[in-house]
Structure 1
Amino acid sequence: MSNRNKIIMLILMLGTIGTPRIMKAQGIEFMHDLDSALAKAKIENKPVFVDFYTSWCAPCKEMAKDVFPLENVARFYNKQFINCKVQCDDKGVGVEKGKQYQIYAYPTLMYLDKNGNMIHSAAGSTTPEGFIELGKIALDPDQNMFSLIREWNAHNREYAFVTKYFKALQDAYRGEKLNSDFNTYFNELTPADKLTKNSFEIVKLVKPSPFTPSFEYIEANAKKYDKTVGSAVVDKYISDSYLWYLKNMINPETRKQYEIAKAKFKAKNYPYFDEFAMFLYAFEVQDSTGDINVNEYMKRGDAFLQKYGKNNDSYTLALTSLLGNCTGKPDQTVIGIKWMEDLLRRNPDPKYLSTYFYILVRNYHCDKAQEVANEMRANAIKNNESTKSVDAQIASIDAYRARLAKLAEKNKSK
């Protein structure tokens, strides 16, 4: 190569190094300040899509990794929306924005008009196709949540619409509005209308909490539902409501309210109080910091299941799920495996396999966990369901095997 050509080549190389590379943007183009996004939306006359997320949320990370970067998703969202991400655990503006828009689940996928008013919302991760469809619904003034709210405000109280409306609020985790509008709906009903099957179906959908006026009305009139629903069905609804309401209150933040509610429940003299109290007693091992005495929990849980376990499959599932959360060592909580195997012998329901898998893998029973996961995957394929979740569970087994191998190696070296 001549000296002249060498000089030209050097100039070209230096030019390439010194010039910033212009990369074509990949995926959805997100802003990270909602106020700026809304200002841009006014200029461009577009709605705003907001991904409310947290740093610890696994489904949020799935969306960021598997959905937002896709070309067809980005093409649709970059054309139709100004897009913004708001981190709701940033200890700053993001936290305040989360409170402003009443965000209680992550991710919350929310759509705002250019003035910052919510026009549609959904909670949880979704597929790329589902995400695009969600955006299309948000853009449709005849389908989005804003249109449902408008129709509700116009006093549409037909059963089909009310069911659709309350379901949409529930799916979007708009709990405050759901409860407020349900109370309005229930209070507007005549005594005869409150006793209809349709009204009770809406009650079951919304699930008003025990000790609220609507719940207490149903409780006081349970026998009157005999002709329309069946008083036995209503009695079971009432008992289940108390059970899970109280169970979900056993945490440091609501422990005092739990004790008050439990005393009020006891005063009602239901025949199943002792059974429920023994179930709740297992969860009461949680101290004021949220720590759990695992050995005491296993002792109480096992005693309860031996006495009452056959009455309700959900008892075993709830006790085993929490036990799995408390497990971090090989064979630490094998009693939970026994609980699930006893349940599956009584009722081999495929939907119980996920909890069985969880307690197996948390105790490092990897080979058995692999068998169960393979069965779960085969069931999903048979039912034409996605295998994405179970595939992730199967992949997690390798991490447990690797940890188990390290522990074995460490024990050998001692």
Structure 2
Amino acid sequence: MSCFFLVNFLLLSTTFISAQEKVNWMSFEEAIAAHERVPKKIIIDMYTDWCGWCKRMDESTFGDESIARYINENFYAVKFNAESRNDIHFRNEKYSFIQKGNRGHHEFAIKLSERLGRLSFPTIVFLDEDLNIIQPIAGFIGPEQFAPIIFYIAGGHYLQTPWKQFEKKFDGLVFK
């Protein structure tokens, strides 16, 4: 009898775990194709395979169910490896990988990071519905700090309200 309960418990907990919402990541090309059908803002998680903070952000921030749900509802979410060797075509431009010694970087990563003046990982980049860069944000951002940022961008608050003013008035309960 106890074996029966144990099996049911394991089945239910597995179902619960798999039912948790995850970010629907796509390639840049897939996001552009989806955007052409239904325009939406785009969030780009620019990372590298060797970046420990990128992995931590994947687990803690993007692994947060309410963050994932909000991103899925309001953005097309793109995972972009800044060391990818695949060409990207965007706005009649071709962006490629540039080899430098044993490493290198992608020209598209440079384009996305122009406002920062440097490459840094992770970097989150937001594009508006016209595919213009709203803002790149470099460095690890935990879920508590990330919630007001995505709410600020998704709601278009960045168009009228300075960030510091918005941040002071943000009520996390609105996000949930």
One-letter amino acid matched to 2:67: V
- Gapped runs of 5+ residues in structure 1? 1-22, 149-160, 165-414
Spell out the pairing of 1:14-413 with structure 2 (5 A cutoff).
24=19, 26-31=21-26, 33-93=27-87, 95-102=106-113, 104-143=119-158
The structure-2 alpha-carbon separation of the partners of 1:130 and 1:42, relative to structure 1 and needing over 3 Å to count, comes to farther
Task: Please state whether the residue corresponding to 2:149 is helix, strand or coil.
Answer: helix
The structure-2 alpha-carbon separation of the partners of 1:48 and 1:37, relative to structure 1 and needing over 3 Å to count, comes to same
- CA positional deviation for 1:45: 2.1
| In 1, Cα distance between equivalents of 2:33 and 2:19 | 24
How many residue pairs are counted as aligned between the two chains? 125
In terms of fraction of residues, the more strand-rich structure is 2
**Which structure has the bigger radius of gyration?**
1
- CA positional deviation for 1:47: 0.4
**Range that drifts further, 118-127 or 92-101:** 92-101
- CA positional deviation for 1:142: 4.1
Cα RMSD for the two superposed structures: 2.5
- Residues 109-138 of structure 1, C-alpha deviations (whole Å, 9 max, x = no match): 111023321112211111112112111121
- Gapped runs of 5+ residues in structure 2? 1-17, 88-96, 98-105, 165-176
| In 2, Cα distance between equivalents of 1:111 and 1:42 | 17
| In 2, Cα distance between equivalents of 1:135 and 1:78 | 11
Q: Contact 1:48–1:113 (CA<8 Å) still a contact in 2?
A: yes
In terms of fraction of residues, the more helix-rich structure is 1
Task: Please state whether the residue corresponding to 1:86 is helix, strand or coil.
Answer: strand
Task: Please state whether the residue corresponding to 2:158 is helix, strand or coil.
Answer: coil
- Residues 385-404 of structure 1, C-alpha deviations (whole Å, 9 max, x = no match): xxxxxxxxxxxxxxxxxxxx
Q: Contact 1:46–1:114 (CA<8 Å) still a contact in 2?
A: yes
| In 1, Cα distance between equivalents of 2:127 and 2:40 | 9
Looking at both structures, which has the greater relative contact order when contacts are Cα pairs under 8 Å and sequence separation is at least 6?
A: 2
State the 4+ residue runs in structure 1 displaced beyond 4 angstroms: none
The aligned counterpart of 1:366 is none
Please report the TM-score for the alignment, with normalisation by the length of structure 1: 0.28
| In 1, Cα distance between equivalents of 2:108 and 2:129 | 16
- CA positional deviation for 1:50: 0.4
